[in-house]
Amino acid sequence: MSTNIAKLLGIKYPIIQGGMAWVATAELAAAVSNAGALGIIGAGHMPPDALRAEIQKAKELTDKPFGVNIMLMSPFVKEVMQVVVEERVPVITTGAGNPGEYIPALKAIGSKVIPVVASVALAKRLERTGVDAVIAEGTESGGHIGELTTMALVPQVVDAVNIPVIAAGGIGDSRGIAAAFALGAKGVQLGTRFVVSEECTAHENYKKAVIKTKDRSTTTTGVSTGHPVRVIANKLSREYQEMEANGASVEELEKFGAGRLRMAAKDGDTDYGSVMIGQIAGMMKEIQTVEEIVQELVNGLPAVVENIKNTVEAE
Ligand code: TUI
C-alpha cells in the first residue's frame, strides 16, 4: 500500500497519526514514523520552548519524517509557527482554524503543509494558497470537531479540490481505510487507534477508559459555544452540559473547561478530566505496540478489498 501521499511525505504507508494535544508526544510520533507511517507531535497549547524540546526529542528517536500539528486556537500560535520553521519540521498539519497567514513561511522552508478542514469552503480556499493536501475530518473524531460526518465530507472535498485528500474521523481498522479510499481519499489519519498503543504516553487511566467504551460512550460538549468537543461521557461532561443547558456564558464555560485535557491525559483523572476520543473508541479492545497496529492496518487491507470485490460480483 503506497500512494502519492506516501511519496509526497517520504513515508512507506499513507497513514498519518492524529496530532492529539497532551497525547501525541515525541515518543508516540517517533514510534509511528519508525513503523512506516507519519508520526505527529500534537502542539496543542504547548509553549514554544516545550515544543522545541519535543521536536528535538523526536529527531533523536527517529530518522524518518515526522510532523507537528499546530492547534490554531493556541495562544502561542505565532511563536510555535516560528519554532517549526526554525526546526525545519518536514510536515505541518493544522487544526481548529484557518492557517492561511502562516502558509508562505512554512512553504518557504520546504515543509509540507496539510491543514485539517471540516468543510468544502475552507478546503477550496486553502487549495488556492498552495497547501500540499488537506485532511477532511468528520465529526466522528475526538476533540474539537466539525459538523459533517466523514462519509458525507470526504467525497464532497474530493470532488471540490485537485490536491490529495486525507480522510479522518471514525477510521480505526483496515475496513475504515478501505472505505476512505472508496470515498476518494489518498491517505488516512487515525488518532483513537494510536491512543491505545504502548508507546502512547497518555496516562494508563486514559487508555483504560478508551478500552472500556462502547459505541455510544462519547458525547459532545461545547455545542452552545460554537466549539464542539467530543469526549467520553463522564462527570465532567455531564456538569459541563448542565451548565450549557442553564445558559452559562462562554467565559464561565471556558474557565470551567480549562486544563481538563491535561487532567485526563497526564494526571489520569477520567472523572473530572476531558477524555477526548473518537466514536470508533468502542472498537478498541487492547493495547498494542505501534508496529503491531500499523502492520495490522496494512496487512488487513487485501482481505477487505477481496471482500468488497466478492460483494460487488455476487449475483
Ligand atoms: O483540531 C482538531 N481537534 C482538536 S484540537 C484540540 S485542543 C483543545 N483543547 C482544549 C479544548 C478544546 C480543544 C482537541 N482536538 N481537529 C482538527 C479540526 N479542525 N477539526 C475541525 C477543525 C476545523 C474547524 C473549523 C478547521 C477549520 C475550521 O474553520 C475555521 C475557519 O476559519 O473557517
For atom 29 of ligand 1, which residue has the closest CA? 97
pLDDT of 246-273, one tens digit each?
999 999 999 999 999 999 999 999 999 9
**Which ligand 1 atom lies nearest to the CA of residue 121?**
33
What span, in angstroms and rounded, lies between the C-alpha atoms of 29 and 16? 10
pLDDT of 15-64, one tens digit each?
999 999 999 999 999 999 999 999 999 999 999 999 999 999 999 999 99
Instruction: Establish whether residue 225 lines the binding site of ligand 1, counting it when its CB lies within 6 angstroms of any ligand atom.
Output: no
Instruction: Establish whether residue 21 lines the binding site of ligand 1, counting it when its CB lies within 6 angstroms of any ligand atom.
Output: yes
Instruction: Establish whether residue 61 lines the binding site of ligand 1, counting it when its CB lies within 6 angstroms of any ligand atom.
Output: no
Please, are residues 157 and 187 in contact by the beta-carbon 8 Å criterion?
A: no
Residue 2 pLDDT: 73
Residue 160 CA, ligand 1 centroid: distance in Å? 21
Residue 315 pLDDT: 66
Task: List Cβ neighbours of 162 (8 Å cut-off, separation of 6 or more).
Answer: 127
Instruction: Establish whether residue 263 lines the binding site of ligand 1, counting it when its CB lies within 6 angstroms of any ligand atom.
Output: no
Residue 272 CA, ligand 1 centroid: distance in Å? 22
Residue 269 CA, ligand 1 centroid: distance in Å? 23
- pLDDT exceeds 90 at position 207: yes
Put the strands of the sheet holding 187-190 in their side by side order: 15-17, 187-190, 165-168, 134-137, 112-117, 91-95, 66-71, 39-42
For atom 5 of ligand 1, which residue has the closest CA? 144
Which numeric CATH code is attached to 11-201?
3.20.20.70
Task: Kindly state the average pLDDT of the residues 154-175.
Answer: 98
Within the chain, residue ranges assigned H as helices are: 4-9, 26-34, 48-61, 77-86, 103-108, 120-128, 150-160, 174-182, 192-195, 204-212, 235-245, 250-257, 260-265, 290-299, 301-313
Query: The C-alpha cell of 216 is what?
Result: 455510544
pLDDT of 208-261, one tens digit each?
999 999 999 999 999 999 999 999 999 999 999 999 999 999 999 999 999 999
User: What percent of the chain is modeled with pLDDT above 70?
Assistant: 100
**Which ligand 1 atom lies nearest to the CA of residue 72?**
1
Q: Give the SS3 label for residue 239.
A: helix
For atom 22 of ligand 1, which residue has the closest CA? 96
Site to substitute for ligand 1 among 46, 73, 144, 230, most atoms within 8 A of C-beta: 144
Residue 3 pLDDT: 76
Task: List Cβ neighbours of 313 (8 Å cut-off, separation of 6 or more).
Answer: none
What is each CA distance from 157 to 49, 101, 115, 154, in whole angstroms?
A: 36, 22, 13, 5
Instruction: Establish whether residue 190 lines the binding site of ligand 1, counting it when its CB lies within 6 angstroms of any ligand atom.
Output: no
Query: The C-alpha cell of 131 is what?
Result: 497547501
Instruction: Establish whether residue 31 lines the binding site of ligand 1, counting it when its CB lies within 6 angstroms of any ligand atom.
Output: no
pLDDT of 85-129, one tens digit each?
999 999 999 999 999 999 999 999 999 999 999 999 999 999 999
For atom 17 of ligand 1, which residue has the closest CA? 95
For atom 15 of ligand 1, which residue has the closest CA? 143
Instruction: Establish whether residue 273 lines the binding site of ligand 1, counting it when its CB lies within 6 angstroms of any ligand atom.
Output: no
What span, in angstroms and rounded, lies between the C-alpha atoms of 133 and 151? 18
**Which ligand 1 atom lies nearest to the CA of residue 96?**
19
Strands 229-232 and 218-221: what pairing? antiparallel
| Domain spans, the chain | 11-201
For atom 12 of ligand 1, which residue has the closest CA? 144
Strands 187-190 and 15-17: what pairing? parallel
Residue 1 pLDDT: 72
The chain-wide mean pLDDT, for the chain, equals: 97
**Which ligand 1 atom lies nearest to the CA of residue 146?**
21
Half-sphere exposure in the Cβ direction for 198 (13 Å, CA)? 8
